[in-house]
Structure 1
Amino acid sequence: MALQQQIRTRNTEQLMSIGIFGLLVLLYAPVLIYWFNGWLYKTISTEHEYFSHGIIGLPFAAYLIWENRKKWQRLPNKTHPLGAVLLAIGAIFYLTNVTEWVNLSLPTILVGLCLWLKGFPGLKLLGFPLLLIFLATPTAIPYLVAPYTFPLQSFIAGTAGFILNQSGMNAVVDGINIYVNGRIVEVAPYCAGLKMLFTTIYVCLMLLYWTDNLSSRRVTLWFLSTAVVISVIANIIRNTILSFFHGTGQEAAFKWLHDSWGGDLYSALMLLSLIPILNWMSDYFSAPLETELESENQLLPPEITD
């Protein structure tokens, strides 16, 4: 009887899991298709294009959830009331039919499901993939941040103008505008490198998790700080090249780097350069720890055997 009851319980849990998954697919497949189509073909709004790192982040999050499925099944069923609250909020967001709220309903409902089915242990188990989903969910954050990027725009314009002048070109900087040979290039809010910065931080988190360095506070802080600096420098170089192309009348090259796949290639090469930096930092910060452990082991008394 106990075995039959266990089998019935397991079958019920499997059916419920299949039902929940099917409902999520039914609700969010059109949303995800819209996101991916917009990111790939640049048909989504400018603000939502800032979250195009979801092209790699969302599949990676799904892979991590699938990898943790056995650990999830072994967790005891433990309902937390906050899960019901979040599920209700997520449902309200979805039913508003407002793009921003519908988008946010996905991570809200997923967190609510974790708490409702497995409590905080379930949320802890799937915390990182849920974070990746949240950070890849298109919101109005870039639109809200854009008005405050003027100092960064001015810094980029001034530095790019300085580099061009040192290269022998006639560049004049006026605020966020660069005049090269009488032709103007504006470092607009969306040219201030926010998209590259968002993508850089996102990819860095993925690399830190993949290499098991996310638990190391020193590696995480140093790597993220270094990546932010590299992202800003890379964006300055990109704006300098764009100003050069536009100022010298190379419009095809300007459009390739600014609007076409040239910008994606540039960002990809910058992100690839972060991998050896992370490997070096991981080795550098782990070496003192290994030396400290070896010293502690040498101070321990020898084991006494019979």
Structure 2
Amino acid sequence: MDPGVILRLGLLGGVLAAVYAPVLRDLASIWWSRDDYSHGFLVLPIAAYMVWARRSALRPLPLRGGSVWGFALVLGAAALLVVGAAGRAISLSGLSLVVMAAGLVLAVLGGSYLRALAFPIAYLLFMVPVFDELLVPLRWPLQLATARVTVGFLQTLGVSALLEQNFVVLAGKTLEVASACSGTTYLISITAIGLPLGYLVLRTWWSRLALVLWALAIGVMANWVRVILIGIWASRGGEVLHGPFEVFRAMFVSWIGVAALVAAAWGLSKLQGAAAPVAIAVPQASGPRGSLAAPHRGWQAALAVLVVLGVYTTLLDRGPVDPKEDLTAFPTSVGDWLGRRADARDAVFRVEGADQELVRVYEHPESSALQLYVAYLASQQHGKKIVDYRTAQLHEGAEIAEIALRPGHTVAVNRGHLHGPSGDRPILFWYDIDGRVITNRYLARLETMRSALVHGRTNGALVLIASERGDDRATARRLEVFARELLPQLRTYFP
């Protein structure tokens, strides 16, 4: 390749890395803190290796840059990054990086290169938490299935165990099959290893499909084995939940799954027999290979977009927005209810990284107590958001409840249940974004993006009211009456 081409590509790559450095930093934080995305550290090296493995196929390809479609992809990726940065949506920002990579290849190098590099570029999706929302509907059913399989296996072994939804009740001990134990953790990470393994080792479509299906099966079964082992360990008096030396943690069992995956790939490769040479069709160049005679505008336009994008995203956030008044000053009386302070650790639900939290227990002379939890974020960023995968559990089975503030004026909130070891607790909850009460978590994200783009701020709050007990009309009515008294008072605190 011409030295001038290499220099331009290097400059483009450097600017790309600078623009997306905050995105990569936030992604690395996810890889470090979440077991289901710890494989993210491997994705870039694996993708780079897959490109290097195809180097002999890339050398003869002609440069056909300057594609209008490539530039359209670059602009689309830029828009995704702006929206992702505005809404503090790392999924959109990370997706933008993948789309930008595809767009730059098409705009600067041409369609032949994009076709050759399509799989390594698409594989970059596994370093981005884009699968969270797709897997949310599977978490609760898999939690129940894992608990059911665990109890059945323990009973077969003669261990006294009972099943209560996603709780495994042992003699003197109760184990919760939490969301992190649903098995979706493995579905992502094991597939992220299985796909490149099949791409590099296997040649037929059926063997690659078989390996991916095997990877998904491993993801579920390895989790069952892990929870069963925890149950056996706990039933025999084990005090440390994850066993001696933490051997029953997700990471340890995932390596067992990877070993099984590698063994399966080896077996399938043997079934294929000796490798046959793969012929790659190379389009014929009408000009000198490796020159950018026509597509100068392609890389220049891409470079200009990246520079403008970097400047704009840097200036997008205008800083945190504090509440009108500190939440600690919130009245202890709400209507006929009298409140007392409570420890934040006793809250039925908490938002990670909240700038201010209000936890009160309000009592009424004629009814049981209610717990009020308010989390306020002066600004939202990765790991510190009002709406994320943790709040998804609040929406499970939730429905809309209309709160009549005055004649002709109602406010919609969410009515649902919060699952816990002591049973389900009836709750009302809603989001307050830029002065709007919002029930839908996706609309809350969109409103956060709009507020960032229009006003340069991302402050917001989550309000949750939980009943101590009860699941009847009287309980629902009590929650709604309290919410009707609460809403106008909270409005004076939020900007």
* Shorter-chain TM-score above 0.5: yes
**Are residues 1:152 and 2:142 paired?**
yes
Query: Residues 80 and 92 of structure 2 are in contact (CA less than 8 Å); yes or no, is this contact kept in structure 1?
Result: yes
Pairing 1:252–2:213 present: no
2:42 counterpart letter in structure 1: I
1:110 equivalent among 80, 87, 101: 101
State the partner residue of 2:45: 59
Q: 1:255 to 1:116 in 2, by over 3 A?
A: farther
Give the 3-state SS of the residue equivalent to 1:251 in structure 2. coil
Match of 1:203 among 172, 175, 193: 193
Name 2:256's counterpart in structure 1.
269
**Shift in Å, 1:10:** 2.8
Looking at structure 2, the residues matched to 261 and 29 of structure 1 have their Cα atoms a distance apart, in angstroms, of 35
Q: Paired residue for 2:20?
A: 28
Alpha-carbon distance change, 119 to 225 in structure 1, aligned in 2, over 3 angstroms: same
CA distance 1:201–1:131, change in 2 (3 Å):
same
Structure 1 length as normaliser, TM-score? 0.78
Structure 2 residue identity aligned to 1:266: V
Partner Cα separation in structure 2 for residue 76 and residue 256 of structure 1: 58
Q: Would you say how many aligned residue pairs link Structure 1 and Structure 2?
A: 271
Deviation of the 1:62 alpha carbon: 2.0
Query: What corresponds to 2:128 in structure 1?
Result: 137
**Aligned: 1:93 with 2:86:** no
> Map of 1:60-75 to 2, 5 A cutoff?
60-68=46-54, 71-72=57-58, 74-75=60-61
* Rounded Cα–Cα distance in structure 1 between residues aligned with 2:125 and 2:163: 39
Aligned residue in 1 for 2:210: 222
Q: 164-173 vs 243-252, which deviates more? A: 243-252
**Residue 50 of structure 1 aligns to which amino acid in structure 2?**
D
Alignment-mate amino acid for residue 39 of structure 1:
W
Provide the C-alpha distance between the structure 1 equivalents of 2:217 and 2:100, rounded to a whole number of angstroms. 35
The residue matched to 2:175 in structure 1 has which SS?
Answer: strand
TM-score (norm 2): 0.50
1:279 paired to 2:269: no
Contact 2:242 2:248 in 1 (8 A): no
CA distance in 1, matches of 2:190, 2:251: 13
Bigger proportion of residues as strand: 2
1:121 is aligned to 2:121? no
Q: CA RMSD in A?
A: 2.8
Q: 1:51 to 1:286 in 2, by over 3 A?
A: same
- Kept in 2, the 8 Å contact 1:218–1:285? The answer is no
Query: For the Cα contact (< 8 Å) 1:57–1:136, is it kept in 2?
Result: yes
* Cα contact 2:91–2:128 (8 A) shared by 1: no
1:10 pairs, out of 2, 8, 11, with: 2
- Partners of 2:141 and 2:170 in 1: CA distance: 21
Listed one character per residue, the Cα deviations across residues 132-168 of structure 1 (whole Å, up to 9, x for unaligned) are 21222223x3245223433322221111101111122
Q: Write the distance in 1 (CA, Å) between the matches of 2:178 and 2:79.
A: 36
Hey, what's the Cα distance between the residues in 1 that align with 2:192 and 2:137? 22
**Partner SS state of residue 273, structure 1:** helix
- Between Structure 1 and Structure 2, the one with more helix by share is 1
* Partner SS state of residue 185, structure 2: helix
Query: 1:16/1:68 Cα in 2 relative to 1: closer, same or farther (>3 Å)?
Result: farther
- Give, in whole Å, the separation in 1 of the partners of 2:238 and 2:67: 60
**Equivalent position amino acid for 1:202 in 2:** A
Q: Identical aligned pairs, as a percentage? A: 25
Corresponding residue of 1:165: 155
Deviation, structure 1 residue 201:
1.2
Distance 2:159 2:209 in 1: 39
User: Which residue in 1 is equivalent to 2:70?
Assistant: 83
**Contact 1:257 1:263 (C-alpha < 8 Å) held by counterparts:** no
Distance 1:137-1:283 versus aligned 2 partners, 3 A rule: same
Query: Partners in 1 of 2:190 and 2:121 — Cα distance?
Result: 18
Residue 248 of structure 1 deviates from its aligned partner by 4.4
Distance 1:13 1:122 in 2: 14
Tell me which structure has the larger Cα radius of gyration: 2
Provide, for residues 244-299 of structure 1, a one-character-per-residue CA deviation record: whole Å limited to 9, x for no partner.
334445232527787x8843122112211222222222222448x99xxxxxxxxx
Q: 1:263 to 1:251 in 2, by over 3 A?
A: farther
- Cα shift at 1:203: 0.7
